[in-house]
């Protein structure tokens, strides 16, 4: 009598039938498909790089190359001679940049992957095993390529980041000048808003030149200063300590040096932006009708670029992104230098917000939400959107009213993230589809919010068997 077994709990199968079913299941299982047959994996280091290719009769599976340019060229020739078309490597510090540029120049498809996505299995701790592991993962298409803007945008990004370094250095100089003044009990910051403004610089340079009379220094104030002459005289009465005057002089000279370097960066950025072709403006078929509210242009202050940056950005993007409340030309330049001009890299605006780390993210395990919040993403573009959202606190615009409501309901940190998400969506729509942003005003948002509250009240009242009746006008 044939031995009967239960398979799947629905039908009795003989041993032969059970074995045949297992074979069919095994043959139907596709397993891992080879996505990149001509691939290589590179473990990037500061002084040497390890390269792994598919083993063959005339090829070494792993080779080591140095970090000099001649050796990087030899690495590229080695890959080309063995038919490699695509390369995977980790973004290790800044050591990958030179190798990436050479491989991209030679026509290879380079996958720059996140190190957290290629964690080693237990025991894989050497450089040789690491490059082989990268090769295996990349061959089967298990690695995701990181975002990398075009070469012309990378040039602008380098100039802009270098300018940001000088801006931060100049800010540190101002803080140290303020510290020296406070130690001499010169409370200049209590009577003027900016010690490196027009009045502040006149007074500081006069002090460094040897002027000590408070009356003479107070006469240098600009007519726009609200503080009186006597208040400025009182603030400039202190003890003139020579060591602190020496520090003040050096910091002022360093501040001037930073301003010169920022101007050099501005010239380089302006020249590079002119090299980017003009982007035609989108058709305004779905654009909103313009409102009667005047467009408030952001003022150029402080360390802002001294060339018409907003006009250049409008030319290369095809839209005026500074029409969004809270978004200045500096914010647009920061975002463009980080993400580029091609928004088709993200399928939808939700993908773009997720890439920025501005959308909600829930960690779920066993059907339970373990953690709620946004992902920890280090992104300069997301930081720029958050800074722009923070400026909406005192804005009388539609977005300003929405931000204040979010702030009262969610608290400041969550409200900033929510409004940064909103600004990112508006940015995506304008860049991708050419939609023009028109501010509807604070009153429009209040009317919309009140209508929403009324609908909710009517719904709750209907569930309880009541109806919402408006009060008479004379009540």
Q: Residue 93 pLDDT more than 90?
A: no
Please name the residues in contact with 170: beta carbons below 8 A apart, sequence gap of 6 or more: 255, 258, 259, 262, 303
What is the total count of domains within the chain? 3
The answer as to whether 221 is a domain residue is: yes
Banded model confidence at residue 7, pLDDT cuts 50, 70, 90: very low
Do both 60 and 87 map to the same domain?
yes
Give the C-alpha separation, 157 to 10, whole Å. Answer: 64
The answer as to whether 457 is a domain residue is: no
Do both 325 and 435 map to the same domain?
yes
Dihedral angle sign, alpha carbons of residues 333, 337, 343, 347: negative
- Least confident span in 16-25, 98-107, 214-223, 421-430: 16-25
Q: Residue 287 pLDDT more than 90?
A: no
Do both 158 and 119 map to the same domain?
no
288 or 273, higher pLDDT: 273
The answer as to whether 458 is a domain residue is: no
Q: What is the pLDDT of residues 192-245, one digit of tens each?
A: 988 999 899 999 999 999 999 999 999 998 888 888 889 999 999 989 999 999
The answer as to whether 280 is a domain residue is: no
Banded model confidence at residue 26, pLDDT cuts 50, 70, 90: low
Banded model confidence at residue 292, pLDDT cuts 50, 70, 90: low
The answer as to whether 147 is a domain residue is: no
Give the C-alpha separation, 53 to 41, whole Å. Answer: 7
Do both 318 and 424 map to the same domain?
yes
Banded model confidence at residue 361, pLDDT cuts 50, 70, 90: confident
Give the C-alpha separation, 82 to 99, whole Å. Answer: 18
Please name the residues in contact with 432: beta carbons below 8 A apart, sequence gap of 6 or more: 343, 344, 349
What value does the mean pLDDT take over residues 240-255?
95
pLDDT attached to residue 30:
54
The answer as to whether 98 is a domain residue is: yes
Mean pLDDT, rounded, of the chain: 86
pLDDT attached to residue 114:
82
What value does the mean pLDDT take over residues 154-170?
95
Q: Residue 330 pLDDT more than 80?
A: yes
Q: Residue 315 pLDDT more than 90?
A: yes
What value does the mean pLDDT take over residues 42-68?
87
Domain containing 167 equals 153-275
The answer as to whether 8 is a domain residue is: no
The answer as to whether 7 is a domain residue is: no
CATH code of the domain covering residue 89: 3.30.420.140
Query: Which pairing describes strands 86-90 and 109-113: parallel, antiparallel, or unpaired?
Result: parallel
pLDDT attached to residue 236:
92
Q: Residue 294 pLDDT more than 70?
A: no
């Amino acid at each position: 009598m044939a031995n009967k077994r239960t398979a799947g709990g629905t039908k009795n199968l003989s041993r032969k039938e059970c074995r045949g079913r297992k074979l069919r299941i095994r043959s139907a299982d596709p397993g891992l498909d080879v996505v990149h047959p001509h691939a290589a994996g590179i473990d990037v280091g500061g002084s040497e790089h390890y390269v792994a290719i598919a083993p063959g009769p005339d090829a070494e599976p792993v080779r080591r190359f140095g970090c000099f340019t001649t050796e990087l060229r030899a690495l590229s020739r080695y890959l080309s001679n063995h038919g490699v078309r695509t390369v995977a490597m980790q973004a290790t510090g800044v050591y990958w940049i030179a190798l990436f540029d050479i491989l991209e120049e030679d026509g290879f498809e380079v996958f720059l992957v996140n190190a957290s996505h290629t964690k080693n299995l237990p025991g894989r701790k050497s450089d040789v095993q690491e490059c082989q592991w990268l090769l295996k993962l990349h061959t089967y298409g298990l690695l995701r390529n990181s975002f990398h803007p075009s070469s012309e945008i990378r040039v602008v990004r380098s100039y802009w980041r270098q300018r940001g370094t000088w801006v931060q250095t100049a800010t540190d100089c101002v803080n140290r000048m303020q510290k020296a003044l406070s130690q001499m009990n010169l409370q200049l910051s209590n009577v003027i808003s900016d010690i490196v403004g027009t009045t502040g610089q006149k007074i500081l340079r006069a002090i460094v030149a040897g002027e000590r009379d408070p009356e003479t220094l107070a006469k240098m104030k600009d007519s726009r200063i609200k503080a009186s002459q006597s208040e400025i005289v009182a603030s400039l009465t202190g003890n003139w300590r020579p060591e602190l005057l020496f520090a003040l002089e050096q910091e002022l000279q360093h501040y001037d040096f930073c301003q010169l370097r920022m101007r050099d960066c501005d010239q380089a950025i302006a020249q590079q932006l002119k090299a980017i072709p003009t982007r035609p403006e989108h058709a305004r078929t779905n654009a909103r009708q313009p409102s009667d509210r005047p467009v408030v242009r952001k003022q150029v202050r402080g360390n802002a670029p001294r060339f018409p940056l907003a006009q250049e950005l409008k030319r290369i993007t095809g839209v005026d992104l500074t029409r969004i409340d809270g978004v200045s030309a500096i914010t647009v330049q920061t975002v463009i230098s980080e993400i580029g001009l091609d928004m088709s890299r993200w399928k939808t605006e939700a993908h773009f917000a997720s890439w920025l780390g501005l959308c909600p993210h829930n960690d779920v395990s066993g059907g339970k939400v373990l953690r709620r919040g946004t992902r920890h993403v280090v992104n300069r573009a997301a930081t720029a959107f958050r800074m722009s959202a923070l400026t909406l606190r005192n804005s009388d615009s539609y977005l300003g009213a929405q931000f204040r409501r979010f702030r009262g309901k969610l608290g400041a940190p969550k409200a900033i993230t929510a409004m940064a998400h909103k600004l990112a969506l508006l940015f995506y729509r304008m860049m991708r589809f050419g939609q023009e942003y028109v501010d509807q005003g604070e009153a429009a948002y209040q009317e919309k919010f009140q209508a929403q509250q009324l609908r909710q009240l009517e719904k709750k009242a209907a569930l309880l068997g009541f109806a919402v009746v408006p009060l008479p006008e004379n009540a």
